[in-house]
């Protein structure tokens, strides 16, 4: 039975989770949408970020410095995938899977055991689920600053080369762009963001867990797709598009809270998420097929560029 009060109580927490994991979803947007690269490193690098941050904080390092270190560790993970793909010629999906697998061992090495807790009572954490409203505010500040930096970077000559790499490799190479470097830059940036998100999320939860990244790529894809379906038509500006991914992530966590309230068990959640994402991924394919078999009549007076 749906318990409205319980759901409303859970909602602020979902918003905080959605905002903090939304940074991970922005990372997924960079690889999946900008680079056209389905990067499965994410499941590993999210945990790497959490592990690095938690261990450093436990050593007495400033939590903000720990976030930077987590970002750098994520960048290294992205570089590893880029290296597998470009230098060793391994197909993109497989390169990500290999990194993800290797990162499991590395994450275990970093943490020493499968779970490490940091208490907000003992350390001055950046965010904590004990203080949900500040966590949301801090998360949103991170989101806005990061979107600003990404907006700037992808507008530079180098950023534009990365976008061209993702859009049309042939064109990029013909215009003198080293597409291998373009892909590596995208992967490094993306996984840096993912790890940063993991570092914030671990602090929020008060612990880093070896399984915290499992299924993260699916959450990221879901956020990208939800954001696109809901806001794709109204948000044309790139910065707003990135923001819609974060909103997508918030909605994802809200829906999860809802289905949990409806009685779905937490272990069934992953199947639920996988199926939802599968359906949303199928929509463009199905609608393409539908359009191919049901050609739309040309709108009267509509301006078209079809033909030559």
Partner 1 sequence: MLEIKNLSKTFNPGTVNEKQALTDVSLTLNEGDFVTIIGGNGAGKSTMLNAIAGVWPIDSGSISVNGVDITKLPEHKRAKYIGRVFQDPMMGTSADMGIDENLAIAARRGKHRTLSWSITRKEKEKYKKLLSSLDLGLEDRLTSKVGLLSGGQRQAITLLMASLEKPQLLLLDEHTAALDPKTAAKVLALSDKIIEENQLTAMMVTHNMKDAINHGNRLIMMHEGNIIYDVSGEEKKKLHVSDLLAKFEEVSGGEFANDRMILN
Interacting residues with partner 1 (CB under 8 A): 153, 155-161, 163-164, 167-168, 170-179, 305-308
User: Could you tell me the smallest distance in angstroms from the CB atom of residue 152 to partner 1?
Assistant: 9
Decide whether 121 or 305 has the Cβ nearer to partner 1: 305
Are the C-beta atoms of 195 and 49 separated by less than 8 Å? yes
Phi, psi for residue 209 in degrees, rounded to 5: -125, 145
- CB of residue 222 to partner 1, shortest distance in Å: 22
Supply the minimum distance, in Å, between the C-beta of residue 305 and partner 1: 5
**Separation of alpha carbons 274 and 280, rounded Å:** 10
Q: Can you tell me the distance from the alpha carbon of 80 to that of 82, in angstroms, rounded to the nearest whole number?
A: 5
Nearer to partner 1, 7 or 164 (CB): 164
Give least dist CB 155 to partner 1, A: 6
The least CB distance from residue 296 to partner 1, in Å, is 16
CB closer to partner 1, 58 vs 240: 240
73 to each of 66, 69, 100, 270, how far by Cα in Å? 10, 6, 13, 27
Q: Which two tokens stand for residue 166?
A: 């993702």
Neighbours of 129 (CB within 10 A): 15
Nearer to partner 1, 178 or 207 (CB): 178
13/169 with CB nearer partner 1: 169
162 neighbors 182 (Cβ within 8 angstroms): yes
């Amino acid at each position: 039975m749906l318990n409205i009060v319980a759901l409303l109580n859970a909602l602020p927490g979902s918003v905080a989770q959605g905002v903090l994991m939304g940074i991970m979803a922005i990372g997924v947007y960079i690889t999946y949408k900008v680079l056209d690269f389905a990067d499965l490193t994410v499941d590993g690098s999210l945990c790497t970020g959490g592990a690095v941050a938690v261990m450093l904080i436990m050593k007495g390092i400033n939590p903000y410095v720990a976030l930077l270190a987590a970002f750098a560790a994520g960048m290294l993970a992205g570089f590893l995938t880029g290296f597998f793909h470009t230098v060793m010629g391994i197909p993109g999906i497989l390169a990500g899977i290999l990194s993800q697998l290797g990162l499991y061992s590395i994450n275990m090495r970093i943490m020493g055991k499968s779970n490490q807790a940091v208490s907000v009572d003992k350390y001055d954490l950046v965010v904590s689920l004990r203080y949900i409203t500040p966590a949301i505010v801090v998360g949103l500040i991170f989101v806005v600053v990061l979107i600003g930096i990404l907006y700037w970077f992808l507008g530079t000559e180098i950023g534009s080369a990365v976008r061209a790499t993702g859009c049309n490799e042939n064109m990029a190479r013909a215009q003198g762009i080293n597409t291998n470097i373009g892909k590596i830059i995208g992967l490094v940036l993306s996984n840096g963001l993912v790890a940063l998100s993991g570092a914030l999320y671990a602090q929020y939860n008060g612990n880093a867990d070896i399984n915290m990244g499992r299924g993260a790529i699916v959450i990221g894809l879901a956020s990208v797709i939800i954001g696109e379906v809901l806001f794709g038509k109204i948000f044309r500006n790139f910065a707003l598009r990135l923001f819609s991914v974060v909103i997508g992530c918030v909605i994802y966590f809200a829906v999860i809270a809802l289905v949990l309230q409806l009685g779905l068990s937490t272990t069934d959640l992953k199947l639920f998420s996988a199926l939802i994402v599968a359906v949303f991924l199928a929509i463009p394919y199905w609608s393409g097929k539908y359009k191919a078999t049901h050609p739309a009549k040309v709108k009267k007076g509509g301006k078209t560029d079809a033909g030559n």
